[in-house]
Chains A and B, each alone.
Chain A
Amino acid sequence: MRHIISILIENEAGALSRVAGLFSARGYNIESLTVAPTEDSSLSRMTLVTRGNDDIIEQITKQLNKLVDVVKLIDLAESAHIERELMMVKVKTSEATRAEIKRIADIFRGRIIDVTPMTFVIEMTGTSDKLDAFVKAIDETTIIEVVRSGATGICRGEKGLHL
């Protein structure tokens, strides 16, 4: 199953490599990883997406917690949460295809943020599934570039990941 794990980690040099190294050393699967500072400059927040059965996910969270720099973590899959990923897609356009691409982007609530005579850049946020669906919906041969941020997420309601 797919899990989104959110981690608060000391904002120290090498913190990222500890997490990335753990995944490669133990052969855990890592689909995406995002890192950025938080409102507390001494902490970074990482969000990683991984897959595995319950036993593997349990080991992953235990091993992450064992890293001395990890302050706290939460497996978002365990409770109601909101997931978002940002994507930018550059597509080739022509007189004939512009309207159709615009129409599909609208359906997915995408925005066209750059236009040249030959291209569009479409910006979109949503769950990773939704972004996948959009990429499938447009003509594959028109895609020049797809850039995705990797998923991030937050718990619904009172629950959350903070000190």
Chain B
Amino acid sequence: MGFIDHLIVNAEGNSVELNGAQILVQSLKDEGVEYIFGYPGGAVLHIYDAIFQQDDVKHILVRHEQGATHAADAYARATGKTGVVLVTSGPGATNAVTGIATAYMDSIPMVVISGQVPSPVIGSDAFQEVDMVGISRPCVKHNFLVKDVTKLAETIKKAFYVASTGRPGPVVVDVPKDITDPNIKVPYKYPRKVTMRSYNPAVEGHKGQIKKAVELLLSAQRPMIYSGGGVILGEASRELIELTRTLGYPITNTLMGLGAYPATDKQFIGMLGMHGTYEANMGMHESDVILAVGARFDDRVTGKLAEFCPYAKIIHIDVDPASISKTVKVDIPIVGQVKPVLTQMIEQIKESKKQPSKKALAAWWEQIDKWRSVQCLEYDRESPLIKPQYVIEQLYEVTKGDAYITSDVGQHQMYAAQYYHFDKPRRWINSGGLGTMGFGLPAAIGVKLAFPEADVACVTGEASIQMCIQELSTALQYKTPVKIINLNNRYMGMVRQWQEFSYESRYSHSYMDTLPDFVKLAEAYGHVGMLVENKADLRSALEEAFAMKDRTVFMDIITDRTENVYPMIESGKGHHDMKLRIAPGTPTDRELA
């Protein structure tokens, strides 16, 4: 298998025998793991005992296993390292499933170690037994059931290898209790490298394809670069910026790709898709050549497939061949890691004698600027109520655009994406693919552990925050002072918006009644609570909150409950068919009122 083994040796130079629990913990240490997010229980008690007896790998005790998965996932999103979770069998494992699926949908590297009942009783409906390998199978990149303690270290290595390479994703390692038996000791070896004959993810792109792609790109009249989460996962932001600047083409990012290209740059035309900008969606619609980079043509992005980019030839770079031509047929597929492929493309462009047509490009930018002038993200700034968009704008200013922003799911998530202009990758931490409410708070804790000096804010809604509110306790225990920006509209705003548009405002069960007093709740958990009801107080309240460097602050901000997210492509519509807040030239809601 060709690896340089890491052998634990004692003073005499003999290899030391370890039990399974120690092997597991030692493997994590040798893998360079800093934090494990977990929750104990019967099946993992041996492991917890081994954790107790060392302090290299730090354990973060969450309050619910879902919280552990989101915190580990966000730690991975913010750092690029693999997040690690430890849960017990049965309910511990099932509680982790939502978080595993969340990481799976967004291709986040994560290793989840779940306890399992002892091997001899597997299959007997033993106490706290669930078939975790079976339950997790559809939402993991891969999973393992450890059957032999002598294979444990190698299995852990494989789990990290699979989770973090190719298209990343979560890997579950199910460890029966007998495998971690303190009395069974075997020699410990942690492989530095593993190879698997059945797993060989692509790296470099095909030269011929790259050449063809560059030819096409350089001949474009109305080009568009559409980049996604793959650029962030593949650490290729620098290359993307270089390529985009070299070409002078407009660029749009998916929700998952925000920050890969600086949002404040003039070539950036905003997010695309359902709640993307008018200019990005119109640009896609009218484009003749699209370069898709590490993006997967999600339905939130494409809208009605039959009307998607009717005039465009499409180049698609993706490490996962199954992402290519899955929903949208592309013309030039390039399978490979974004970083080397973009590097190859940049070289090709520099070598090429061809130049993009200056005239065509100027005309194209002129068209884009016309779309931009619609100012699709404008909202009623004069409103006496606190507009959620205004909160995000103020948050952006107070944090100088340099905070890590986690979010939950709903309108607040879209406002954060639209109005916090992410200039750097890994700053925007949200659940895009699964859209998991409850993600934001544990995610903020995971990020803050990774970057204790940075400002970390969780933009949330009064419904989402209650799904993992118990993690306020974790935040206190581990002193992770995050700022919770609760855009409290007393509605499941996103649901209400759809009901307003598509169900004649029948607000079926989307009203959040009997809300807790969030200020008191925060205080009960040992944090600072702030209620902001007046627009005039918002700025100073935010400043005050962020000045409290060592406190978690829960800001309950009472926002305009009727506000909707615009622009919007309603389901079943195409990019060119956007619903705008204000059709160009018409008076605002308030002017009419």
Contacts and interface: CB of A to CB of B under 8 A. Distances in A.
A58 interface: yes
Interface string B166-203: 00000000000000000000000000000011110000
A21 B137 contact: yes
Interface stretch (B43-51, B320-328, B439-447): B320-328
Contact of A68 (B145, B147, B198, B329): B198
Contacts of A71: 197-198
B211 interface: no
Interface string A19-47: 00100010000000000000000000000
Contacts of A10: 198
Most chain B Cβ neighbours within 10 Å, of A9, A13, A21, A66: A66
A17 B138 CA distance: 10
Given A14-B133, A68-B162, A62 B321 contact: yes
Contacts of A55: 325, 329
Interface string B133-156: 110011001110101000000000
User: What interface size band does chain B fall in?
Assistant: 20 to 34
B362 to A, nearest CB: 38
Contacts of A163: 197
Interface in B117-135: 133-134
A27 to B, nearest CB: 13
Given A17-B134, A21-B137, A59-B326, A65 B197 contact: no
A68 B134 contact: no
Contacts of A17: 134, 137
B138 A68 contact: no
Which applies to chain A's interface (DSSP): helix, strand, loop or mixed?
A: helix
Contact of A21 (B138, B141, B142, B198): B138
Nearest to B137: A21
A69 B138 contact: no
A70 interface: yes
Nearest to A65: B321
Contacts of B162: 68
A36 B516 CA distance: 59
B141 A68 contact: yes
Nearest to A62: B322
A47 B506 CA distance: 52
Interface hub of B141, B143, B147, B199 (most chain A Cβ within 10 A): B199
A58 B322 CA distance: 9
25 contacts: A10-B198, A13-B145, A13-B147, A14-B133, A14-B134, A14-B137, A14-B143, A14-B145, A17-B134, A18-B137, A25-B138, A55-B329, A63-B322, A65-B321, A65-B322, A66-B320, A66-B321, A66-B322, A68-B196, A68-B198, A68-B199, A69-B198, A70-B198, A71-B198, A163-B197
